[in-house]
Structure formats: C-alpha cells, structure tokens
Structure 1
Amino acid sequence: MRAIDLYAGIGGWSLGLRLAGVDVVASYEWWQAAVDTHNGNHGGALKATDVRQLRLEDLPSDIDLVVGSPPCTEFSYSNRGGGGDLEEGLKDLIRFLEIVDHLKPKFWALENVPRVAHVLRRGMSDPKHPLYRFRDLGMRIEVIDFSDYGTPQSRRRCIAGNIPFDLIASYRSRLPRRTLGDVIEAVACGDEVVDPVWGCRLSAAAVTERETEGALNAEELRMNREAKTYHPVYNNMAFPDAMDVPGRTVTATCTRVSRESIVIADGKGGFRRLSIRERACLQGFPITYQFYARSFPEKAKMVGNAIPPTFTYLVARAAQGASAEDLAPYSGAGSALRLPERSAPVTPPTTEGRTYPAGRSFRAALPGLRFKSGMRFELANGRGQQRDWQVRFFFGPSVDIREIELDQDLLRQLGSSPLIKKLMMTTGAAFATAELRLQETTPGALQAAWSHRAEGLRPFQVADLLGELAAEVHRRLEVVAIDDQHAVIGYVMAAAAEEEEGDTIPGSKKLATHAMAILSGLLVGAWFNTLPWHRRQKAVA
C-alpha cells in the first residue's frame, strides 16, 4: 500500500505504517524540530511544509491511504480552558478533507482531540456547516482510548475516517495491557533495556533521554498535590500516579507545576516528573527513537503532540485486511528496530524555578474549606496588579459560580447575632494567636517570599494558618450551636442572599449541608480581609 502523512509531526503515523509494511511516499509537516526528528528517524529529507499551502496537483498519485493529525491546539480544552479559535482550527480540518476528496484513497484516517468528534458530527449533519460538503467521504467518527490497544497510556482521541474500525476493535483481545509501572521499570534497567512495547533491546548506555529532573521542591510538591487532589472543580487525580494502570495522558506542556503532569516517587523519598524517554515510551515510541530538538521543553512538546505509533500500526494492518489471528504483536513487528545513525542532542531537564515575576499570582483553597463543584474558600493575592491578599468564597454550581464578599459589612451582619458573639468570645484566643503569626510578615513581604525574592512566611503557610483557624472555629461552633442548627443555616443563607437579586440561591442545598464549615469560613475570611495587617508597610526592607 502507498500512503501519505499530513500534519506528520515527529513521525508517529509513519512509524506505525512502515512497521506494517506500508510505503509512506510523502509526509508533510511545518514545525522544523518535528521535521528534523522525522528525517532523523526515517532517513528522509523532508522540508518544512505548510499543508494549507500545498497545491493539490503537486500531491503524489495512486495513494491507497491518507492519514494525519491536524493541529489540535484550537480544539483542546487544555488550551485556554477550551477557548481556542475554532474557526482557525477548522481550516486544517477542511484542508485535510479537501486532500482526501482530491486523492480519493481507498482508506483515510484523521486523529485529533475528543472535542473534534462533536465538531465533525455537527459538520456532517448541518447543511450550513463548512464541513458539510465532505459528507460523502464515508466518515465514521469514534473516540478511542489508546490504552485499550496496548499503549501504556490512557489517551482518548477522536479517530475519523473510513478505515475498518470493527476490524481494529477485534485486535483488542490480542494486545497486552501495559502500565505506567511497566514503562518506568523497563527504562530504569541498568544493563540492558528491553522496550516495554516493541521488544527491541539496547544497552542501557545506548538509551538516550533517560536524564531525570531533580525532585520537586516542597512548594512545587504542594502545588502539584493541590491541583490534583483538591481541585475545586475537576475530579481528583491520584498523587503520586498509580503504577499498576496505564499512565495518564502525556501532554505537550512542560512546567514543573501542572495538574496534567505525571508525578511518580523518585525512590529517594521524593517525587519527580517523567524523563523524555519515559514520556516517549508511554506514547508508544520505541527506545530507539531519537528526538532532535534543542531543549527539554521542546522535546516534551513534540512527544506530547504525537500520535502513538502503536495505534497507527493497527490502522495500517486493518487497512491491509489483517485478521486478529494474523496480527503480528508489537514485539514481533518492532524487535528489529535499530538506532538511527545520528543521536539526538543531550538536553538538560527543566530545573526548579529560582526567580519568578514580582507580581507572581497565587491562588489556593483553604484546607478544610473545599467543597468541590466550584464551592470553596480560597486565598489569592489580589485582583489586578495590586497583589493585596484576600480570602474569597465562591458558591453555586460549577456553571453558575457566585461570590460572597467577605468584608466589614458581613462581619457586622454576623456579629449582630448573640450566637456569633458568644462564638467569637470563645475563639478570641485562637484569632489573637493567628494575628500574632501574621505579624511575622507584611503583604509586600509575603509577595516577595512567593516570588522567591526574600525568605519568610509563605502563602501556603498563611492558607494553612487560616484553614486551621477555621477548623477551630468550626469545633467551637459545633458546641455552642448544638441546638441552633437551623440558625446557622439561616446565617449562611442570609449572607448568600445578599448577593442575589431574586429569591433563588444557587447551590442552596449544598450551602445548607455544609453550613457549619461555611459559617466558620465566612468569619475567618471576613476577619482576615479586614485586619490592619493589610495596611502594614508593603515594601521589603
């Protein structure tokens, strides 16, 4: 079979197809680092090419299979929270389908993020949609998890085309399930490394990209743990990542603090992110594959953007009509893989941040005051550029988040209650102790510590301090309000109602369920926000 690869990236499509015996006669990619990597591993002489600018008459003829992965950035929910330019992303989908329509191959397949499945389905059903004119291409649209097909990573992607999907599905029973632990153990071998998927072997000294980052420092560790296990809106993630299941999706981002980063124990009592080689193996690239980029982040980006060659191998075999019984396992197809002639440059891993912008932003939920679905108390360093430290409370369903202003008016409103007056008397010593601790710093000094320009009390310590104070108030409230449960709910509802114009309070059931903790947070947050501490000298001596 003859194939062309559009939006080829670093060669994930080409590798799988060639291992199946398909002749990839042309590949097209615009990013130079990806082109270099494609050429280095496939022995080609590709030049950076913008697929949008290709002339249809210049394409090869007699093509049996067209494959490709148009850029997913504009469609990805990880890009600006899903706020990408969809019209811009559509241009590449249209271009891909124009080429398919022109070449009329026997088979074609397009890969992209799951969101594109909705775009394509709408395009095929809406006569006014720009994709509607391609409805006769025989498009079937599926969202597939590559971990079901022997890739050691849970990676859900939209696959659209006219390939034999049912035949590909029949391969699943023949493919072993690989895990994150399989990859970590294989790459760490000290003598000979056996590829955890493809079965090829190299001496440990010949395996590149095994350099690991230093362990996450205490601040990075806290931020990663918070983002994964205490996110106010999204589901919790395991921390560290579990070794007995396929790894989570390998992403293109490369920061040491990220909800999406895979974090594992480093065997020395700390935690680290993955090396480039570990990421590549999770993506289904063999240990022989080289990454010709100038930096660790650039290599991470090219690996995270790739399509696993494990799955592209299956697409090729299905296009060839191979039955499940005739399917050669990955270890059979890849056992003869060898290193390319030229090794990739060594690129030091990303190191922990030493300095940050003076206005570095901070935002963290207070321990004990996280209620999921967007409802939480959080400490943040201001709105705009002033970087004034404030506690804020958000409530309501995640699609309609509201805020209660934690200010002097709220303190006055709550303080008019005999119950609250009694509570504040019993907790006075705890508030005084907390205020003394805050006297160790100033708003400016706290910001300087957060931006690594000075030592001293740090924001997470303040968040913990306020969380502990709220927990103490909560304990005392449970005692003094044992017969006043309805009154506590009433105080919370009254505070929420101050922010609403109508009679309906969003999330009222959840407010009532957590009324004790919420009232404690309201008192602590309003107290903190109105402290004279905020008027202390903000400059760092």
Structure 2
Amino acid sequence: MTDPEVLARHLDEVRILDLFAGPGGLDVAAHFLGLKSLGIEWDGNACETRYAAGLPTIHADVRVMREDRFDQIPKSVDILAGGPPCQSFSVAGTGAGRRALETVKRFIHRLVDEDENEAEIDEDLRALDDPRTALVLEPLRWLLKAIDTDDRNPYEVIVLEQVPAVMPLWEVYAQILRGGEGRLGGVKYEAECWQLKTEEYGVPQTRTRAVLIARRPGRGAVEAIPTTHRPFDVHRGKRVVAQTDSLLAETSVLGRKQSWVSMADSLRAASQLSGSCDRVSRFKSQQSSDSESEPQLDFFVVSNYGSGGDPKNRGRRQASEPAFTVTGKVSRNKIYKSESDLAAGRYDRFTIAESGVLQTFPHNFPWSGQDQAQQVGNAVPPRLGMHVLSAAVLGAPPSEEALAAARSWPNVPATTSDELRALGCGDQSQCPAGSHRSIAIRQNPAAP
C-alpha cells in the first residue's frame, strides 16, 4: 500500500468492493451513480487501465486478499459486488464449470455448514477439472469472512453477475441467503436472481447475464429490474407460424419501450462527442464533405464464431442491428462495407475504442496495458451495471442525466494514476507472481 494521506484520499467513504474487477465495468457504473468503489483485480494489464481511469484498485488474487489481507479492506465497505471469471462456465470456454454445477452446489452448502472444515473444503476444491470454477464461491466466502470478523458488519447489499450457465448456482446462493442458517449466524437477506438481456437496457449488443441481488431486511423487497428497451430477435427471419400469436401478444407492452440500440447509432453518437478520437469517428469518412446530414454507417459484421452449431457458418449483423456479444475475441470480427468487399476479402476490424463503446464504456475511456481486446470482452457493460447497481443500492432506475453523463470519462491526471499504482502495486511482492512482466505502462490508444 502507500502513505496514509494517499490512502485516505482514495479510499475514504468507499462503499463498494468489486471482486474480479477487470478494467472497471461495475466501477464505471458506480462512478456515474455517485458511489465510490474499490476493485480487486489479479490481471496487471486490467489494473493499468484502472489506474489510468482513476479507479482505486488492489492488484491481488481475491483468495489471497480474503485469507491474508482482509484487514486492508476499508470498513466503510457495505456493498459486495463481483463477476467471477466465466471461462469454465461460458459456452465459448472449456465447459468444466457447467459439468461441475451439481458439485459446486454441494460446495455452497458445505461452506455454510458449521460442521464442515474449511481447509478440507479447500483440499477438495483442488480436484475440480478447472480451478477457476471454484472462484464462483468467493463472494460467499467473502460474506462469511465479514460475518466471522469481529470488527466487521455483514454486507448490506450483494450484487453478482455471470454467464447464464451460472444461474442455478445463483439460485442456491439466493436460497441460502434467505435462510441465514449455519455459518451465516442468522444473517438473512432478501434475494432474487434473473437472466437479463443487455439490449433491453440500452446496450448495443446482445448478451445475456445471470444477475443476483441480495439486500438485508429493512431495505425493501428485491424486485425485478425494469427493462427500458425492446429485445432483439436473434432468430429474425426464422420464425415459425406458431410463434406469431405470442409475438403479437407482446406488441402492446413492447410498443411502450424504446427500440434496441444499434451499432450504427452507438458509434455515430460516440463520434459526435467532444474530443472524440479517430478510432471512434472513422466512419465519418463515409459522409461526403459537402453533406450536412449525419454520417451514414452502412456496414455489416461477420462474427468470429460459428452459428447454429456449424463453425464455418459465421453469423452476420447489420450496422442497423445490435452487435454480437462482445468477447475477448471482438477484434477478430470482420467489418465489410459491401458484398463486393466481402467477395474481394476487403474487411476492417473494430478498434479497441469502438469495441468499448459497444460495451457502453465512455468513448474516451483510457484502455491501457496489453491484451486490451480481452479486457473489453471480460468487462461488465457499464450501462447494464448502472441499472443493476441503481436497483440494488438506490432502489430506483438510474436517472437519464446519469446515463447521459456516462458517455464520456473525466480526464485523470498522471499523478492520480501514479498514486493509484502505488496503492495497488506499491509492494509488488504482494501482486500475483510474474504479473508485471507484460504490462506496457500507460498505453492509451483511446485518448484523443
């Protein structure tokens, strides 16, 4: 860590602890909601992005922080948030987590059982095919640690998100949190979980997330998070007649909501913001120099992934549609301006800044370090995060003013980034082993 004055400046009144913080999707959301957060992140490159963005960070393994450095977490923290790594649960990953769902459910029950030995649980967890699967248990272990620590209070609010495959585990979490039994020592929560579609919250991509919100009694019932936009029909053009009636029945409800946001709309809006850089505004070149109309964004995207189970059948999205799920391989998607370009093999790629905009990061967010495409793809879309955190903590949707402000990121002085780096990495012996070898300090391709 660093000196007391710097600690106080950056960590006083921190309310949110973001486990597995990545480059800052939830922290960006918290910032625009007026909530101060602290992230724990093991990847040094993601930490560099966080430092450049002015986000307080501890560069560490969440397990090490829980076991050996728990006392370094500010006592003002009353909200636990996190999205454990999804690789073993994602359909694009190994599938080890999906195969182990029933085993992980048993581990959840074992962790709250007063008769279980935690050291034995740790030993048994080592038998999992993919060690990352066990990280989905960390939020519960952090809660139990807070309950077991004399000078700490249980978290008032818990917010978790993951890929849809983790939904059965969140359901077990919710059941246990409502019961307050065993090692929870009577600490109970109102808890619910849902699968949320990002495009229904104004994110210009189709992406489904399993979300859990838990609150201590007295803070009001946990209710479903209202959607603001219509869902995108990923099976457009493939509907069967039997679906028609149900689609028509939804029209009266959906008609009152905004349409989903397209790639063209989001990139055009970002390109017109003050200080927009060429990496976002390059599509303006499609506008003739004497035209006063908005730039026309006419392109289509061919996915890096196969569609319908056929790896050779690459899906397509038009500029007038939401993007595919933005993953760490987003830079492999190919952008074509015409069918003739497709035939000739002439294509472009999304820049990091554009990929970030499709994730609803501010257009000028200071992506730094290496593996930036992976950082973008791993992140929680901040706009979705604003809806989830606002519902969980404030009990209301985010204001239109907050959502509008979230399109641009404030300038962060280099001195602030340096202080945050000293806070998070000042004693590199406490950082994950070897994690500073590949970091390119203050790379910032998204800056104007």
TM-score interval, smaller chain: 0.5 to 0.7
Q: Partner residue of 1:169?
A: 226
| Superimposed CA distance per residue, residues 282-331 of structure 1 (whole angstroms, 9 cap, x where no aligned partner) | 1110112011123xxx110000000011122223322443545x723455
Q: Deviations over 1:505-532 (max 9, x none)?
A: xxxxxxxxxxxxxxxxxxxxxxxxxxxx
Aligned to 1:20: 33
Residue in structure 1 matching 2:42, options 25, 30, 42: 30
From 365, 373, 376, the equivalent of 1:300 is 373
Q: What's the C-alpha RMSD, in Å, of the aligned pairs? A: 3.8
Distance in 2 between residues matched to 1:123 and 1:282, nearest whole Å: 31
Rounded Cα–Cα distance in structure 1 between residues aligned with 2:304 and 2:138: 41
Q: Report the equivalent of 1:242.
A: 318
Give 1:27's aligned amino acid. Answer: G
How far has the Cα of 1:336 moved from its partner?
6.3
C-alpha distance in structure 1 between counterparts of 2:86 and 2:378, whole Å:
9
Distance 1:226 1:283 in 2: 17
In the TM superposition, what is the alpha-carbon distance from 1:136 to its structure 2 partner? 4.7
The answer to whether residue 357 in structure 2 is matched with residue 286 in structure 1 is no
Q: Is the 8 A contact 1:77 1:83 kept in 2?
A: no
- For 1:344 and 1:133, locate their aligned partners in 2 and report how far apart those are by CA, in whole Å: 44
- C-alpha separation in 1, matches of 2:303 and 2:138: 42
Deviations 1:246-273 (A, max 9, x none): 11100113674xxxx4x33146823333
1:93 matches 2:111: no
| 1:344 CA displacement | 4.9
Query: 1:276–1:227: structure 2 CA closer, same or farther, 3 Å change rule?
Result: closer
Q: Does 1:52 align with 2:60?
A: no
1:107 to 143, 150, 157: 157
State the distance in 1 between where 2:336 and 2:157 align.
Answer: 44
Partners of 2:34 and 2:89 lie apart in 1 by: 33
Structure 1 residues 141 and 242, CA, compared in 2 at 3 Å: closer, same or farther?
Answer: same
Counterparts in 2 of 1:254 and 1:179: CA distance versus 1, 3 Å: closer
Q: Quick check: 1:123–1:132 contact (8 Å CA) kept in 2?
A: no
State which of 65, 72, 89 in structure 1 corresponds to 2:86.
72
Question: Deviation digits for residues 43-83 of structure 1, max 9, x if unmatched?
Answer: 54x34111111244443224332111111112112113567
**Structure 1 position 125, deviation (Å):** 6.7
Could you list the per-position Cα deviations for residues 220-263 of structure 1 after superposition, in whole angstroms to 9, with x for gaps in the alignment? xxxx78964675489x6643x2222211100113674xxxx4x3
Q: Is residue 2:255 matched to residue 1:181?
A: no
Aligned pairs for 1:113-512 (under 5 A) are 113-121=163-171, 136-162=188-214, 166=223, 168-169=225-226, 177-186=260-269, 189=271, 193-194=272-273, 201-204=274-277, 228=306, 231-232=309-310, 238-239=315-316, 241-253=317-329, 256=332, 261=333, 263-266=334-337, 269=341, 270-294=346-370, 298-321=371-394, 323-324=396-397, 327-334=399-406, 337-341=409-413, 344-345=442-443
CA contact (8 A) 1:73 1:84 kept: no
Name the CA shift for 1:230/1:23 in 2 (closer, same or farther; >3 Å): closer
**What SS does the corresponding residue of 1:185 show, helix, strand or coil?**
helix
What is the Cα deviation at residue 157 of structure 1? 0.8
One-letter amino acid of the structure 2 residue matched with residue 265 of structure 1: Y
Identity of aligned residues (%): 22
Alpha-carbon contact 1:147-1:155 (below 8 Å) kept? yes
What's the TM-score once normalised by structure 2's chain length? Answer: 0.59
> How far apart, CA to CA, are the structure 1 residues paired with 2:330 and 2:407?
31
In structure 2, what is the Cα distance between the partners aligned to 1:34 and 1:16?
A: 17
Equivalent pair of 2:304/2:314 in contact (CA under 8 Å): no
* In structure 1, distance between residues paired with 2:23 and 2:62: 15
Conserved? CA contact 2:159–2:392, under 8 Å: no
Q: Are 1:17 and 1:316, in contact at CA under 8 Å, matched by a contact in 2?
A: yes
Aligned residue pair count = 308
Instruction: Provide closer, same or farther for how the CA distance between residues 210 and 67 of structure 1 changes in structure 2, counting only shifts above 3 A.
Output: farther
- Alignment partner, residue 3 of structure 1: 16
Unpaired runs of at least 5, structure 1: 195-200, 212-223, 349-541
Q: Measure, in 2, the Cα distance between the counterparts of 1:35 and 1:313.
A: 21
Q: Could you tell me how far apart the structure 1 residues matched to 2:378 and 2:303 are?
A: 25
Please state how far the C-alpha of 1:341 moved relative to its aligned partner. Answer: 3.9
Using the TM superposition, give the Cα deviation of residue 121 of structure 1 relative to its aligned residue in structure 2, in angstroms: 2.9
> Is contact 2:267-2:280 (8 Å) kept?
no
The alpha-carbon deviation at position 145 of structure 1 amounts to: 0.8
Query: What is the alpha-carbon distance in structure 1 between the residues aligned to residue 393 and residue 95 of structure 2?
Result: 40
Quick one: distance in 2 between partners of 1:209 and 1:98? 45
**Is this contact kept in 2: 1:290–1:340, CA < 8 A?**
no
Q: Tell me, what secondary structure is at the counterpart of 2:394? A: coil
CA contact (8 A) 1:210 1:278 kept: no
* CA distance in structure 2 between the partners assigned to 1:229 and 1:287 by the alignment: 30
**Amino acid across the alignment from 2:61:** D
C-alpha distance in structure 2 between counterparts of 1:152 and 1:249, whole Å:
9
Q: Which amino acid aligns with 1:156?
A: T
CA distance in 2, matches of 1:106, 1:119: 21
TM-score by structure 1 length?
Answer: 0.50
> Displacement, 1:183?
3.1
Contact persistence 1:40–1:292 (CA under 8 A): yes
